[in-house]
Amino acid sequence: MEEQKKRTRRANGESAIYFGKDERWHARVPMGYKDDGTPYRRHLTRPTRKELVDEVRRLEKQRDEGSARQPGKPWTVEKWLLHWIENIAKPVVSENTYDGYEVAVRVHLVPGVGKHRIDRLEPEHLESLYRRMQTAGSKAGTAHQAHRTARTALGEAVRRGHASKNAAALAKPPRMEEDEKEVEPYSVEEVQRLLLEVNKRRNSARWMLALALGLRQGETLGLRWEDVDLDNEYLKLRRNRLRPKYAHGCSDSVPCGRKAGYCPDRVQTRRETKNTKSRAGRRAVPLPGPLVAMLRSHRDEQERERKIAGDLWTKSDYVFTKPLGGPLSPNTDYHDWKRLLEDAAVRDGRLHDARHTAGTVLMLLSVPDRVIDQIMGWEPGGAARMRARYLHVPDHLLKEVARKIGAAIWGAPETTAVDKNQDNGS
């Protein structure tokens, strides 16, 4: 027993177990290194050797699996989220993704669960936050955005050893069904009414790219003339227009008192476009003959506008511009769509509904799935899911299918006496 209580020299990386003067068993467990490179050891003490050995083995297992808490003051959720979003996420994600993360962190996650220690955050804490958000009026989609942000941020904390589990990966977000509205694509008749109104407007080809080919807003507004080959009747999609973001340009000593976007001396802090990140998004799209004619006319009209504007023209190569040149704002484009619907006496809908319409028309024309996927820009792995979401089967097609099923199983419907008499020439 006396021999067992003696401290023995251990090899580097091994835990040291010894019996102390306080009549208790002690251990020093190597856990890695601190930020300054010095070794970090955890000290454990238990009344019996067996209890201590069991605890040492448990801690060594956590260390080897990377789930043990690291040295230093434990992170709070607030401290970790603010560190993650600025130093880890911001340098590698797109501006739009960062904006979504930032709102979820600042508006919902930090006020809701920020005071918890990151290693003590439980799924129930997050589920309670989601319920409180909805009670306060947030939609389920907003709670889902907070949930996805938390799951990504906490997943990084687990990978770096700051937490042993990802509470958000275990939490259950609210159901989305209540926020999902059934999308009804525009009918051919509605598209034709829109076409009549579109032909009266500036940038008319912009709307037909959405209705006929399903181009996303960012893809359309990011188009440059170098991407359009009218002779060979196709265009290449390789960049997206980003929503502008501004900072104050006025003096701190004499602030304008307005929001940054309305500051007279505002400074744009976000680039105009970004390259499409997915391979499916970078694609060639065929142009129907009438749309080629519209784009030719649009190019001629834009050249006339440039000559009339003279020095006031903002030089750019964008296909769709403001009256004095320069790229269109996505917000202005959205309001133009709403006015177009109203002027054409067509029911209100989202700009994205035009994309659903285009996908449905491609299906009605019996375009092969692979070609639909390329035109719409869907990734091969998720194309089937996207087709199920975007392509809508009209009622008359469903009735035709039902008729064919009935004929195949029950046979052709019997003709009535009137029909027989007509067939006999009676």
CATH of the domain at 316: 1.10.443.10
Q: Are residues 217 and 339 in the same domain?
A: yes
Per-residue pLDDT, 336: 93
Residues in the chain with pLDDT values less than 50: 1-9, 178-179, 397-398, 416-420, 426
Q: Report if residue 384 sits inside a domain.
A: no
Say whether both 346 and 416 belong to one domain: no
Same domain, 169 and 195: no
E strand spans, 269-385: 273-275, 283-286
Do 101 and 149 reside in the same domain of the chain?
yes
Q: What is the pLDDT of residues 173-226, one digit of tens each?
A: 888 754 455 567 787 788 888 888 988 888 999 998 888 888 888 889 999 999
Is 84 found in the same domain as 54? Answer: no
The residue out of 161, 179, 197 marking a domain boundary is 179
- Residue 241: name the closest of 160, 363, 355, 333 by CA: 333
- Asked if 205 and 282 sit in the same domain, the reply is yes
Distance (Å, rounded) from C-alpha 264 to C-alpha 164? 50
- Do 112 and 125 reside in the same domain of the chain? yes
- How high is the pLDDT of residue 178? 44
* CATH number assigned to the domain comprising residue 105: 1.10.150.130
Same domain, 232 and 327: yes
The encoded tokens of residue 286 equal 């065929």
Q: Is 386 among the domain residues?
A: no
Pair (105, 150) in one structural domain: yes
CA 359 – CA 290 distance, rounded (Å): 19
Domain ranges, residue 154: 77-179
pLDDT tens digits, 331-363: 999 999 999 999 999 998 888 888 877 777 776
Asked if 197 and 341 sit in the same domain, the reply is: yes
SS3 109: helix
**Do 203 and 343 lie in a common domain?**
yes
**Residue 389 counted as domain residue:** no
State if pTM tops 0.75. no
Is residue 173 located within the same domain as residue 217? no
Residue 266 lies in a domain: yes
**Number of folded domains that form the chain:** 5
User: Is residue 92 a part of any domain in this protein?
Assistant: yes
Extract the tokens encoding 372.
């639909």
Residue 10 lies in a domain: yes
Q: 125 CB contacts (<8 Å, ≥6 apart)?
A: 113, 116, 167
